[in-house]
Amino acid sequence: MERKNKTITIKINGANHPFKDEVTEDEKSDFSKNSQEIAETESAVSQEQAEDEFEWILPEPIQHKEITEYTIHKGTAKKSKKKDVRFYLKKFKTSVVSTILLIVLFAVLLGTGFGMVVLKFVNVTPDAVPVSGAAGNTPPKAAGEGTEAPLSLINTFVVQGGVYTTEELAKEARDATASKGVPAKLFKIEEKTALFLGTADTLENAKLLAASIANKGVEVFPKPIGIGAGTLKGLQAAEAEALKKMPGLFADLTAASSQLASSGSMANGLAGKIEKQVAELKAVEKSGMTNSQVQTMTTHLHSTSEAIVSFEKTKDKKQLDKMQAELVSFLAVYHNQ
């Protein structure tokens, strides 16, 4: 389509000046290109607008059901629950009482029946019933029966020689020690055999005694020890009474022996105390003692007391050795029973 030339009139200062719009070929070509570009741009825009458009789809409204309201009566529920608990508790107590009554009744019936059966098979005669408290009717004890007396624990200090795995080796060592002028006794300690050479009232005195024995070429070891804590059976009343007095008398005799060996004299009052205990033990012996172990132990205690009295008079040191020999022998019997 060709563009027509137009004449435009411009009025300047009241005078008309015609103006002709002439369009060149180049301008026509540019105009044609611009028009075509504008048309393509508009077409693209319209196409984009068409693509951007979309349809909104809304969900259909949901119809909600009406919510039914319920009323909870709290007071009524609690009242009902309490009633049920009381009912069951009452029922449980009734059943327990009934069960206990049935058990008691069954036990009484069973015991009565069993007693009747036993009475049918047991014949009791008047001669078989012992008369309690009647004088002279106490049956005599059979041979070997008697009082059982405990051996109280004696805590003391000893001078120990060697310890040997067999009794034969221990006896050989005892004989070798005795040949050197040191008395020794065998003591069973668990599964081994030990040599005891002396005894003392304190650890210090035990060390002094050990030093004097070591000067004779004997191996020594002072230490504390507990002897006894056993029982003797088949004893008479006098023998059981004598056992009670022995630990105290042994302690005083050991103290006297240690003091005489270290200083040559005893503490004030110790001699009188020993004399009193020895007299009490002799009084018990007069009641009669037949047990060989009890008799042997009382003999060793009396011999120690006599050696003490003799040393105070003569100051003979052999009496000190005799004291130790008798005290260790007492411990050996008391320990080995």
- How many CA atoms lie within 13 Å of 304's alpha carbon, on the beta-carbon side? 34
CA angle 118, 121, 125 (to 5 degrees): 105
In this structure, is residue 175 part of a structural domain? yes
Total number of domains constituting the chain: 2
Q: Are residues 190 and 318 in the same domain?
A: yes
Question: What is the domain extent for residue 260?
Answer: 147-336
Kindly state the percentage of the chain with pLDDT values over 90. 43
Tens-place pLDDT, residues 40-96: 665 655 555 544 454 555 555 555 555 555 555 454 444 444 445 555 555 555 666
Provide the angle, in degrees to the nearest 10, between the axes of the packed helices 270-285 and 237-262: 150
pLDDT of residue 312: 92
The residue written with tokens 């009566």 in the block is 73
pLDDT exceeds cutoff 50 at 135: no
187: domain CATH number?
3.30.70.1070
In this prediction the pTM is 0.57
Sequence-distant (≥ 6) Cβ neighbours of residue 225 within 8 angstroms: 155, 156, 157, 158
pLDDT of residue 284: 92
In this structure, is residue 277 part of a structural domain? yes
Tens-place pLDDT, residues 153-179: 999 999 999 899 999 999 999 999 989
Instruction: Give dist(CA 209, CA 324) in Å, integer.
Output: 10
Q: Are residues 172 and 320 in the same domain?
A: yes
If one compares 36 and 263, the residue with the highest pLDDT of the two is 263
